[in-house]
A and B are shown apart, each in its own frame.
Chain A
């Protein structure tokens, strides 16, 4: 049972470099999300998608881009990495809107990203 898989698990970048984080889910979920988690703070939503081909901004979208070309994949891109983007990134998916019928989110095990 793979669930939600994130790659890579760890990465160190230099300021200004670019990279893409991949999230894949095998549960046929419509909704997918990217969060970042910083010490002492709750998870903050970066971008999300309510279906294949759709994306939308969350609470902290600046400096990130996303794409959902296939239903099972949600990519998070950093075009020009900055030290402020050092964080743990979590991808999640849900069957439908979390606010309807108490649909829970399923999380990947995270990507630890350090920007030097």
Chain B
């Protein structure tokens, strides 16, 4: 089983729709969680950290479910510019070598 798993997609949704995807992690000792966005042939960029109580940044909401070991990302009122691959990142313990990237979920927003 992979340490961090994501549905590769693609998720193809119309502009204005709400879309959500999850990321599961296998190690219950995981400490920090992030969502990164990666555009085609570009570098990953931090979208948002994921806090235990859940957090929101504009149209984006991230949640953490430690009991079921997953994090989620919800995008409301999706825009064409939201088309990208969304990477889930999980850190284990407090170690620079234990940063695990998911392989990403591809999202495509159609007009």
Contact = CB atoms under 8 A, between A and B. Distances in A.
**Physical interaction between A and B:** yes
Interface of A: 31, 33, 35, 40-45, 48, 50, 56-59, 90, 94, 97-100, 102-110
A104 B101 CA distance: 13
Contacts of B49: 102, 104
Contacts of B92: 99
Contacts of B104: 42
B64 to A, nearest CB: 11
A100 B32 CA distance: 7
Nearest to A38: B103
B99 A45 contact: yes
A42 B46 CA distance: 15
B45 interface: yes
A106 B45 CA distance: 7
B73 interface: no
26 contacts: A33-B96, A33-B99, A41-B103, A42-B4, A42-B101, A42-B104, A43-B101, A44-B101, A56-B96, A58-B97, A90-B43, A90-B44, A94-B96, A97-B95, A99-B31, A99-B91, A99-B96, A99-B98, A100-B94, A102-B34, A104-B34, A104-B46, A106-B46, A107-B43, A107-B44, A108-B43
B42 A109 contact: yes
Contacts of B102: 42
A96 B31 CA distance: 15
Contacts of A106: 46
B107 interface: no
